[in-house]
Amino acid sequence: MRHPWLISLLAFSLTAQAGQTLRIGQQVLTVGDTAAHAVALLGVPALKEPVENTFGAYLGERWQYTRENGHVVVVTIIGGKVADIDDRQH
């Protein structure tokens, strides 16, 4: 094997990409999708909070959804696009 680090890097990048998706029924929400697509899949969020930089400037919003089985999904919207998906089980 000539480049074992390349295989490791590829495996890591695939793992990182898989963490940035959320399955809703038969559809998938992915980082980079539009905020409108997130609303179409998940509905109106139960809570919206602003995302600000260290100086207090508005960057976007963090949307919180409560799903069945105790899951809380937090979708961060920056510039009208999904920037992060955090699926937490409580």
Q: How many contiguous H segments (helices) and E segments (strands) does the chain have? A: 2, 6
Residue 4 has what pLDDT?
53
Global pTM reads 0.75
**pLDDT tens, N- to C-terminus, the chain (90 residues):** 555 544 444 444 443 444 589 999 999 999 999 999 999 999 999 999 999 999 999 999 999 999 887 789 999 999 999 999 998 876
21-89 maps to which CATH number? Answer: 3.30.1450.10
Domain boundaries, the chain: 21-89
